[in-house]
Amino acid sequence: MTRTPLRPLARILSARAAGENPDSIERENLRARHEVMREKSRKRSEGRLLILGLSFFMAFTVVGARMGLLAASEPMEPRSAAPGAAILAQRADITDRNGRVMATNLVTHALYAQPKDMVDPERVARELAVIFPDLKEEDLHRRLTDGRSFLWIKKKLSPEQMQKVHEIGDPGLLFGPREMRLYPNGRLAAHVLGGASFGTEGVNSAEVIGTAGLEKFLDDRLRDPAQTAEPLQLSLDLTLQSAVTEVLDTGMKMMNAKGAAAVLMDVRTGEILSLVSLPDFDPNDRPNPLVKGDPGDSPLFNRAVQGVYELGSTFKIFAVAQALELGLVKPDTLVDANAPMVWGKFRIKEFRNHNYGPYLSVADVIAKSSNVGTAHVALMVGGLKQQAFLKTLGFFEPTPIEMVEAKSSRPLVQKNWSDIVTITVSYGHGLSASPMHLAAAYSAIANGGVAVPPTLLRRKTVPEGTRVMSERVARQAVDMLAGVVEHGTASYAKLEGYAIAGKTGTADKPKPTGGYYKDKVINTFASMFPADNPRYVLIVTLDEPVDTSGSEPRRTAGYTAVPVAAEVVRRVAPLLGIRPKIELPPANALTAVVHN
């Protein structure tokens, strides 16, 4: 490019000759040059602006398009970061204290129909009715042809049933995957576990929610996605549960009882090792609740936790223990036991109108189960203190164990605590509580006076219990209870090898219309073993038992609940690893076992 000089000599010279200012030529040229430069830089700027504008446009287009795409498309998990676990099990397993499975999940399928796609509804209805005998052909046919576009046919299918439905081969029959709850042990611990069913149902999955018992109480824990991989460990021991159930079932039949319950509890940790209520049910096929009659007669009813009964003479030890604690009596103090005792318009009588009086030592009041003696002890203590003591033992509140049924079983307590209530409660009438309450209270005595709250979950650390009585009083109470077995009402509990301490209780059943039945009783045996250093508490309750082995029917706990409880201890104690105390002759050459 040729550059025009600012002062071209030829023009300067001619301008000078013409007398003009040559500087104007320079200015003129400079202006022209600047004009050119400006024009050039304007073009360049315009070009840059265009490019910049284009790139911004493209950038925003890309961002906008991506946003639109993200908003319009189905959300998808990043495939590379897909978690390996959490594919199965939307509900955690339940195991016993040794890790044996009590509840788990099983993959199965639900069957549904889309009648619009169905080729031959008539044939489908006919063949389905053959596969599922509980479905009626006419019913199915009507539902498949009444114009609806979707219907559930079966919630759970076995693989064989699924194969048969496959073989019908109709495109209108479809399967949805399901997880169902399975209780491999069947009836064992059915009341504790409760049951589960489906909540919100979709085609691809369904919620599994607890309907009763522990499954319902701990629903949130069991369904918590962070904890589904970790099984929930219970305090129950499957072997013990099975042994207790077997013995209790046999005992219930032998004693002609219509129901029975047992609670076995570790007093140091508060863990419940076995909880049985009979009759029971299969949680895999949970029966429907009774619509009429007494709900207490349903197999779903948990007698150990839900049932509140007047537990009879088993309460006497509480009155006596409190009097010992307050220093009012000693085990050998004589108290008035002259029956019948008259209090206002009431007459307090002994069993079968016995009279153990005129005086009995406190230890004998317990051993002979004297109502009058206990009443006098309770009157010494007084109603207010009695109430406070029973409250610390937990008789005024539902038990804290992890079942929905426990929350609703509040003990029935008199509102107006008059002296006559003090008397009747001292021997277990006028206050209804569940066998579970009794187990918790007896555990406090067995554990040296420290009450540890009961639980159904395995405890890693034992919570600090509350002291309800001194260790000395607890020891004296246990000794008195051992006396009941040794020479009192529970002599059938004398076992070779294991010393049991316990108290019998026979309570007449209240009529729904008021008053008491003559020949219907609730028999309870509250026991602890081994008696010299109690480690376990066992409560056995029989509903309406009668022992017909003698010449006349016997309905006292000593003849019914005690032998059953003794058999339970005989079976359970070796399983718990308690060494029996048997006097063995010293081993010599004759008794020693020689292995060849």
Partner 1 sequence: MRALVYLLTFAAVIGLGFWAYKENYATQQALKDVSRLNSEIADLREALSIQRAEWAYLNRPDRLRELSTINFDRLRLLPMEPEQFGLASEVAYPAPVVSLPDVNAPVDISGEQEQNP
End-to-end CA distance of the chain: 124
Q: How far is the CB of 177 from partner 1 (least distance, A)?
A: 10
Does position 188 interact with partner 1 (CB under 8 A)? The reply is yes
85 burial level (CB within 10 Å; 0-12, 13-18, 19+): exposed
Looking at 205, 497, 546, 554, which residue binds partner 1 (CB under 8 A)?
A: 497
**What is the enclosing helix (H) or strand (E) of 525?**
strand 516-529
Residues 20-79 that bind partner 1 (CB under 8 A): 79
Q: How far is the CB of 141 from partner 1 (least distance, A)?
A: 35
Cβ atoms of residues 114 and 175 within 8 Å: no
Does position 546 interact with partner 1 (CB under 8 A)? The reply is no
All residues at 6 or more sequence positions from 521 whose CB lies less than 8 Å from its CB, including other chains: 506, 507, 508, 509, 544, 545, 555, 556
With CA atoms as reference, report the closest residue to 446 among 532, 375, 378: 532
**Rounded to whole angstroms, how far apart are CA atoms 512 and 165?**
51
With contacts defined by CB under 8 A, name the span among 37-45, 149-157, 182-190, 389-397 that binds partner 1: 182-190
Does position 587 interact with partner 1 (CB under 8 A)? The reply is yes
Cβ atoms of residues 403 and 305 within 8 Å: yes
Looking at 47, 64, 68, 186, which residue binds partner 1 (CB under 8 A)?
A: 186
> For residues 83 and 515, which CB has a smaller minimum distance to partner 1 in the complex?
83
Looking at 5, 169, 184, 289, which residue binds partner 1 (CB under 8 A)?
A: 184
**Rounded to whole angstroms, how far apart are CA atoms 163 and 109?**
11
Does position 1 interact with partner 1 (CB under 8 A)? The reply is no
Does position 101 interact with partner 1 (CB under 8 A)? The reply is yes
Q: How far is the CB of 245 from partner 1 (least distance, A)?
A: 9
Looking at 7, 27, 66, 100, which residue binds partner 1 (CB under 8 A)?
A: 100
Cβ atoms of residues 246 and 154 within 8 Å: no
> For residues 410 and 570, which CB has a smaller minimum distance to partner 1 in the complex?
570
**Rounded to whole angstroms, how far apart are CA atoms 172 and 179?**
23
Looking at 281, 498, 536, 559, which residue binds partner 1 (CB under 8 A)?
A: 498
With contacts defined by CB under 8 A, name the span among 46-54, 179-187, 252-260, 382-390 that binds partner 1: 179-187
Tell me if residue 529 falls in helix, strand or coil. strand
Q: Which two tokens stand for residue 267?
A: 């007093």
Q: How far is the CB of 175 from partner 1 (least distance, A)?
A: 15
Q: How far is the CB of 477 from partner 1 (least distance, A)?
A: 26
Q: How far is the CB of 231 from partner 1 (least distance, A)?
A: 10
All residues at 6 or more sequence positions from 112 whose CB lies less than 8 Å from its CB, including other chains: 150, 151, 152, 153, 173, 174, 175, 176, 203
Phi, psi of 526 (to 5 degrees): -100, 120
Residues 246-275 that bind partner 1 (CB under 8 A): 246
With contacts defined by CB under 8 A, name the span among 101-109, 251-259, 307-315, 343-351 that binds partner 1: 101-109
Does position 571 interact with partner 1 (CB under 8 A)? The reply is yes
- Angle of helix 435-446 versus helix 471-487 axis, rounded to 10: 110
Q: Which residues bind partner 1 (CB under 8 A)?
A: 79-80, 82, 84, 87-89, 100-102, 104-107, 182, 184-186, 188, 238-239, 241-243, 246, 495-498, 570-571, 573-575, 579-580, 582, 584, 586-587, 591-596
